[in-house]
Amino acid sequence: MPARAGNGRGAPVAIVTGASSGIGRALAVRLASSGYRVGLIARRVELLESLRDEIAKARGLAVAEAADVGDRDALRGSVARVEEQLGPADVMVANAGFGAPTHLDPLNIDDVEQTFRVNLMGVVYSIESVLPGMLARRSGQIVAVSSLAGDRGMPGESAYCASKAAVNVYMEGLRIALRERGVVVTTVCPGFVQTPMTPMDAAATPFIMSAEAAADRIARLIEGRRGGVHRFPRRMALLMSLIARMPDALVARLVGDGSAHEPAPAEPAP
């Protein structure tokens, strides 16, 4: 059963960013089935509206608002419209993510900036949009969907790993600062999850889990108002803890030097 609502309007309200696919979509369905009113935020309007209708057919309640989480003003506006329709947010799940290989020659700076804009600043903007109300009510939960990739900078994935490490540290400081303020802070660090962002090579994605399985774990953390850092699946978390302690040369032998992510050299001009 969902945690008791703190907004005074009946069923608790959960807002999920990145709700159009992957973990976000699965989590929205899971929370709606447990009695939450769900705010759906992502960029792709058609997918959001389809999900909203699917939840409605299952007798749940969801509203959809399009926004890019990397656009501060757009996100704040979308969250405000969700709260106007559903009531103040009891839970904010900052789930939206972006991933692109990190190239070296030349450096793909636009992709690096977009990675940090979505993965880090998108979390910060999501929190900003609901935290004042939660502090005023002395109630709420903030959930950031990070990644085990934040444990170690991996060749070819420097920007993605760094963005997730930044999320982990940001949430850690926030958790300590809010521990007596009534707001639960939860950091979720999954391993490989079957989403459109994940490569399909089984050898490159050990211990991969479905989006539905990941969403169920996150939903249980929300329903139990469990704060702290949660890393799963256990075997992948253990593997990453080992990799994080390996010397660079051994990591390069195991996963390569990142050159497989490099774009093919351009053909010389005729």
List residues with catalytic annotation. Answer: 160
Residue 244's nearest CA partner among 152, 163, 148 is 152
Angle at 90 between CA 89 and CA 91, to 5 degrees: 90
Nearest-angstrom CA–CA distance, 52 and 62 = 5
The CA radius of gyration of the chain, in Å to the nearest whole number, is 19
Number of other CB atoms surrounding residue 85 within 10 Å: 13
Half-sphere exposure of 10 (CA within 13 A, CB side): 7
Residue 24's nearest CA partner among 227, 159, 233, 218 is 218
Residue 215's nearest CA partner among 193, 183, 235, 198 is 193
Residue 181's nearest CA partner among 143, 220, 131 is 131
Locate 96 and state its tokens: 């939206």
Beta strands in 180-222 (DSSP E): 183-190
Nearest-angstrom CA–CA distance, 229 and 32 = 24
Q: Work out whether the CA dihedral 258, 191, 185, 61 comes out positive or negative.
A: positive
Contact 222, 184 (CB under 8 A): no
For 20, 113, 146, 168, the CA distances from 44, given in Å and listed in that order, are: 7, 21, 21, 27
